[in-house]
Amino acid sequence: GAGVSQSPRYKVAKRGQDVALRCDPISGHVSLFWYQQALGQGPEFLTYFQNEAQLDKSGLPSDRFFAERPEGSVSTLKIQRTQQEDSAVYLCASSLAGSPRPAGYTFGSGTRLTVV
Amino acid sequence: GENVEQHPSTLSVQEGDSAVIKCTYSDSASNYFPWYKQELGKRPQLIIDIRSNVGEKKDQRIAVTLNKTAKHFSLHITETQPEDSAVYFCAVSGGNTPLVFGKGTRLSVIA
């Protein structure tokens, strides 16, 4: 597609509910990244894929967070048993280049998750 | 891991004046330094980037300078316009590591 597409755009979840956030990267982009952006803060790294391989998941805050990209294209970030501190905007970004030469990321519009 | 500090957190300038935002980083192996602009409720958008083999890059009213020895880089916006008002983020990468972002600078251009 023309850009990185994320869905849903907004999600309200009751505390304890499981949620799944979807990211459609730009076609052909090798690298895919998930970031969490709290209100008034910079994006914080969660996890990174190169094709279908999850190369780094060091930023996932707990074992309630899980991400996958089974066919090297669409990715899903799943949060189990959501808690209020999970409320944030979840940004997905993709990049044409794989390591070691970095390139600019193209971000999606994000999913704003509110846990009530 | 990499630590990125960004200053100032807020910046107000008169229309037509220049704005400068500075970032420092900790990992001397870092070699890629992009800047992103994020308008309220929108996605971060790449506005300029620089790699470690150059010291300065310019694109119309926007420029970035890099001092690898001191481990800092700066965004310069000249002739600011109201549409430059946004939050600006610096970021740093070491090549095969994901971008680490600063906490952002809220720029307000006053007409």
- Contact criterion met (CB < 8 Å) for B95 and A108: no
The per-residue DSSP string of B31-75 comes to -EEEEEEE-TTS--EEEEEEETT-SEEEETTEEEEEETTTTEEEE
Q: Average pLDDT of chain B?
A: 95
Assign B24 a pLDDT band (cuts: 50, 70, 90).
very high
- Contact criterion met (CB < 8 Å) for A107 and B45: yes
- Give mean pLDDT, residues B78-98: 93
| pLDDT value for A51 | 94
Residue in B36, B42, B98 closest to A45 by CB: B98
B98 part of contact set with chain A, CB < 8 Å: yes
| pLDDT value for B53 | 82
CA distance A13 to chain B (A): 20
- Give the tens place of pLDDT for each residue, A76-98: 999 999 999 999 999 999 998 76
| pLDDT value for B95 | 66
Assign A101 a pLDDT band (cuts: 50, 70, 90).
low
Residue B99 has pLDDT above 70, yes or no: yes
| pLDDT value for A76 | 98
Residue A100 has pLDDT above 50, yes or no: no
The per-residue DSSP string of A65-100 comes to EEEE-TTSS-EEEEESS--GGG-EEEEEEEES--TT
- Give the tens place of pLDDT for each residue, A17-50: 999 999 999 998 999 999 999 999 999 999 999 9
Assign B97 a pLDDT band (cuts: 50, 70, 90).
confident
| pLDDT value for A96 | 84
Which residue from B minimizes the CA distance to A59? B98
Selection from A45, A34, A97, A95 nearest residue A68 by Cα: A34
Q: Average pLDDT of chain A?
A: 93
Residue A1 has pLDDT above 70, yes or no: no
